Amino acid sequence: GAGVSQSPRYKVAKRGQDVALRCDPISGHVSLFWYQQALGQGPEFLTYFQNEAQLDKSGLPSDRFFAERPEGSVSTLKIQRTQQEDSAVYLCASSWSLDRAYEQYFGPGTRLTVT
């Protein structure tokens, strides 16, 4: 089947706007991860879901960042009142199960530019 898909691929937001980034994991994948990749840096962990449960959100940089996965499939990362430092590529990854949580398949990312 298809891999992990993310939409939109590119998003330009004015400072202060809210944005929503979508991730469609591979069908049947239980675990879902969000990472933030700033320009010239490696990805940094944001949050993790096991089915619909958000088990770790330690990487979310502020309370402006919110993620959900209400039915245990599609996930949305929402950023409120965007700021310039939020400009980055947001990567989503999924894996089959807790046992194989490290075998992550990544989507192409959403490049967010805040002007």
Binding mask 1-40 for another protein (x = CB under 8 A): --xx--------------------------x-x-x----x
In the chain the first and final C-alpha atoms are separated, in Å, by: 37
Q: Is residue 108 part of the contact set for another protein (CB under 8 A)?
A: yes
Three-state DSSP class for residue 85: helix
Binding mask 47-76 for another protein (x = CB under 8 A): -x------xx--x-----------------
**Residue spans of beta strands (DSSP E) within 25-63:** 31-37, 44-50, 53-56
CB 31 within 8 A of CB 96: yes
Q: Is residue 102 part of the contact set for another protein (CB under 8 A)?
A: yes
CB 41 within 8 A of CB 26: no
Residue ranges in contact with another protein by CB under 8 A:
3-4, 31, 33, 35, 40-45, 48, 55-56, 59, 91, 93, 95, 98, 101-109
